């Protein structure tokens, strides 16, 4: 059965690809936006650009414009000033359906069975929703997060951007007691990279979505190579969608994961307990492996479905 999802995001180049894939692989009940890669006004505008470009009949609800406790931080070095640098920025007609993403998340989960939450930005909206309506934790089918890492960080040696940007929110979410919490951390997403060949294949598809994605990747790959000299740029956020739609691509391990909120050198670190005798029950299915080539094949097949 086609999964019903709410995407909570901060578009964001890789968020954009996640939305493109979810637009064909899932039933998107709504998109909520959060401050992250760019300020909320831009992540919301970017989400509207994407739903209009893809002709998705999906509302966008703006959410938190700052983290729960720490100062807002953005990622211009990876996504540019607009958060979606690269393609020519289209004029859009659409506007946000509301400025209350948290209310939308709560009401949608309460009025629909088997909804997946798919947060692929800082977890501020999800944490606020859980605090205001703890009942949604047991109502959802699950939550599939892009965030954290069972290895090195990216913003710091130990912390990944989404968790680092709002560690208090991430701690609330990881401790909330979700029965099915899937974690696509950097240790996984760095195995799912885009390169010049993928960009060329997207251009060959020749539809509006694939050409926009190719323009996004031209910027995203160049920005990544400038910073890291890597040949492939990690496609982080689509992993959170694929973990629901194509779980067979992944290797999962049950782990206990907690979030460090105050460490001098470790703020925002997801502390993944690798000890087999570790205390406490596992609260998370951590993704350790992905079939990258099959995932790229599914990416191209999915984007070819757009007119």
Does 237 bind ligand RIB (CB under 6 A)? Our answer is yes
Measured from the CB atom, the residue of 184 and 249 that comes closer to ligand RIB is 184
Does 120 bind Ca ion (CB under 5 A)? Our answer is yes
Measured from the CB atom, the residue of 83 and 142 that comes closer to ligand RIB is 83
Q: At what angle do helices 292-303 and 196-205 cross, to 10 degrees?
A: 20
Residue 75 C-beta: closest distance to Ca ion, Å: 9
Does 12 bind Ca ion (CB under 5 A)? Our answer is yes
Residues 6+ apart with CB under 8 A from 233: 193, 194, 195, 217, 220, 221, 223, 224, 225
- Total binding residues toward Ca ion, as defined by CB under 5 A: 6
Measured from the CB atom, the residue of 129 and 159 that comes closer to ligand RIB is 159
Give the C-alpha separation, 228 to 14, whole Å: 17
Of 80, 74, 60, residue with least CA distance to 166 = 74
Long-range (24+ apart) CB contacts under 8 A made by 289-292 are: 289/188, 289/191, 289/250, 289/251, 290/188, 290/191, 290/192, 290/239, 290/242, 290/249, 290/250, 290/251, 291/249, 292/191, 292/192, 292/193
- Kindly tell me the burial class for residue 92, based on how many C-beta atoms sit within 10 Å of its own C-beta (0-12, 13-18, 19 or more): middle
Measured from the CB atom, the residue of 121 and 142 that comes closer to ligand RIB is 121
With CB under 5 to 8 Å by kind, the binding choice for 232 among Ca ion, ligand RIB, none is none
Of 128, 129, 127, 134, residue with least CA distance to 170 = 127
Please identify, among the stretches 80-88, 92-100, 160-168, 294-302, the one whose residues bind ligand RIB according to the rule CB under 6 A: 160-168
Token duo for residue 124: 């501020």
Do residues 32 and 6 lie in contact, with contact meaning Cβ atoms separated by under 8 Å? yes
Q: Binding residue for ligand RIB (CB under 6 A) from 8, 45, 59, 160?
A: 160
Q: Binding residue for ligand RIB (CB under 6 A) from 83, 121, 148, 167?
A: 121
Does 37 bind ligand RIB (CB under 6 A)? Our answer is yes
Of 190, 153, 144, residue with least CA distance to 272 = 153
Write out the binding residues for Ca ion, residues 211-240 only, by CB under 5 A: 237
Residue 281 C-beta: closest distance to ligand RIB, Å: 27
Does 40 bind Ca ion (CB under 5 A)? Our answer is no
Do residues 61 and 96 lie in contact, with contact meaning Cβ atoms separated by under 8 Å? yes
Residue 236 C-beta: closest distance to ligand RIB, Å: 4
* Given the residues 79, 236, 246, 265, the one annotated as active site: 236
61 is catalytic: no
Site residues, Ca ion (CB under 5 A): 10, 12, 15, 120-121, 237
Site residues, ligand RIB (CB under 6 A): 10, 12, 14-15, 36-37, 75, 120-121, 146, 154, 160-162, 236-237
């Amino acid at each position: 059965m086609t999964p019903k999802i709410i995407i909570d995001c901060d578009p964001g180049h890789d968020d954009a690809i996640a939305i493109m894939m979810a637009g064909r692989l899932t039933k998107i009940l709504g998109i909520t936006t959060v401050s992250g890669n760019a300020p909320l006004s831009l992540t919301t505008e970017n989400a509207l650009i994407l739903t209009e470009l893809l002709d998705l009949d999906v509302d966008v609800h703006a959410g938190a414009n700052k983290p729960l406790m720490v100062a807002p931080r953005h990622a211009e070095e990876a996504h540019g000033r607009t958060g979606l640098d690269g393609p020519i920025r289209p004029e859009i007609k659409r506007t946000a359906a509301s400025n209350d993403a948290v209310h939308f998340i709560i009401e949608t989960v309460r009025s629909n069975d088997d909804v997946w939450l798919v947060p692929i930005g800082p977890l501020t909206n999800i944490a606020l929703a859980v605090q205001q309506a703890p009942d949604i934790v047991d109502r959802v089918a699950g939550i599939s997060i892009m965030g954290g890492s069972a290895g090195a960080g990216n913003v710091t040696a130990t912390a990944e951007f989404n968790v680092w940007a709002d560690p208090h929110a991430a701690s609330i979410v990881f401790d909330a007691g979700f029965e099915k919490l899937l974690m696509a951390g950097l240790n996984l997403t760095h195995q799912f990279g885009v390169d010049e060949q993928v960009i060329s294949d997207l251009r060959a598809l020749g539809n509006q979505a694939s050409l926009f994605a190719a323009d996004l990747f031209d910027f995203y790959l160049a920005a990544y190579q400038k910073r890291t000299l890597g040949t492939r740029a990690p496609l982080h956020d689509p992993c959170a969608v694929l973990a629901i739609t194509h779980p067979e691509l992944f290797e999962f391990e049950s782990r206990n994961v907690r979030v460090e909120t105050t460490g001098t050198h470790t703020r925002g670190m997801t502390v993944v307990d690798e000890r087999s005798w570790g205390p406490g029950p596992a609260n998370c299915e951590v993704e350790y492996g992905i079939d990258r080539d099959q995932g790229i094949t599914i990416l191209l097949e999915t984007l070819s479905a757009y007119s």
